[in-house]
Amino acid sequence: MSIVKLASGHGMPLVGFGLWKVPRETAADTAIKAGYRLFDGAYDYQNEKEAGEGIQRAIKEGLVKRDDIFVTTKLWNNCTSPK
């Protein structure tokens, strides 16, 4: 899998798994089993919690280390005011 080296020194995969319209229960752990290490989600997809749980399952099962996982997300315009 192709990676790009970040300024931090970490290697981030260039290809990721999009979480839009994927089954909530198996969103992330199935993708990890297929070799994905980068996940692209958004609050609006309404599956961020389940994706995190899938990543946790894969880590507990020893399929992947947390250090190997990248998660990207989007922040909607109405979610940007400081609270």
Catalytic residues: 45
The pTM of this model reads 0.85
What range defines the domain where residue 16 resides? 3-79
Q: Where are the beta strands (DSSP E) in the chain?
A: 3-5, 11-13, 17-18, 38-40, 70-72
Q: For the chain, what's the residue count? A: 83
Specify the range with the lowest mean pLDDT, choosing from 8-12, 65-69, 73-77: 73-77
Number of domains into which the chain is organized: 1
Q: Rounded to whole angstroms, how far apart are CA atoms 32 and 9?
A: 22
Per-residue pLDDT reduced to its tens digit, 3-37: 999 999 999 999 999 999 887 777 788 899 999 99
Q: Are 66 and 34 in contact (CB under 8 A)?
A: no
Between 44 and 26, the more confident residue is 44
Q: Are 34 and 15 in contact (CB under 8 A)?
A: no
Statement: residue 72 has pLDDT above 90 = yes
